[in-house]
């Protein structure tokens, strides 16, 4: 199995495991045990260093695992959306927009807002016309 697949599988499992109530309770238990051991170790600098170092290392590693799973989830979602756009009557301009620059995305967003305002205006005009003819909604 190539390294990237092995890492992806590991990252997915680790991220899912880290998000469980059991993982939270285990971490909470570790912190409670650490705090309870404070008087035993006289609240020394070494005692404080243990929790600081442990949490820093765990956080550092979890950032990469979670980022990996988010990147893959984002790519999968984008691919699904692209496929829906491709097989529908939607404009193909929206396929692959995640690769546009910020300015290009803002311009596309402005275009969508303009079209939405036009559609709303047409819908409002249609509703007014139908109401004036006695139709109810």
- CA distance readout (Å), 95 to 103, 111, 127: 17, 15, 33
Q: What is the pLDDT of residues 107-134, one digit of tens each?
A: 989 998 999 999 999 999 999 999 999 8
Kindly report the number of other CB atoms within 10 A of residue 69's CB atom.
19
Q: What percent of the chain has pLDDT over 70?
A: 99
Comparing CA positions, the residue from 38, 56, 55, 58 lying closest to residue 46 is: 38
Kindly report the number of other CB atoms within 10 A of residue 51's CB atom.
15
Q: What is the pLDDT of residues 30-57, one digit of tens each?
A: 999 999 999 999 999 999 999 999 999 9
How does the average pLDDT of the chain come out, rounded? 91
Which helix or strand (DSSP H or E) is residue 88 part of? Answer: none
Integer Cα distance of 10 and 8 in angstroms: 5
3-state secondary structure labels for all residues of 3-43? HHHHHHHHHHHHHHHHCCHHHHHHHHHHHHHHHHCCCCCCC
- CA distance readout (Å), 101 to 50, 58, 78, 81, 107: 44, 34, 16, 19, 10
């Amino acid at each position: 199995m190539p390294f990237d697949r092995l890492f992806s599988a590991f990252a997915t499992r680790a991220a899912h495991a880290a998000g469980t109530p059991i993982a939270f309770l285990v971490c909470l238990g570790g912190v409670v045990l650490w705090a309870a051991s404070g008087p035993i170790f006289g609240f020394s600098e070494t005692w404080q260093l243990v929790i600081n170092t442990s949490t820093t290392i765990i956080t550092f590693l979890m950032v990469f695992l979670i980022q990996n799973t988010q990147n893959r989830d984002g790519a999968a979602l984008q691919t699904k959306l692209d496929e829906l756009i491709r097989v529908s009557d939607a404009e193909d301009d929206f396929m692959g927009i995640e690769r546009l620059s910020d300015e290009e995305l803002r311009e596309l967003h402005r275009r969508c807002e303009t079209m939405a305002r036009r559609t709303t205006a047409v819908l409002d005009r249609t509703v007014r016309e139908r109401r004036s003819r006695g139709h109810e909604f």
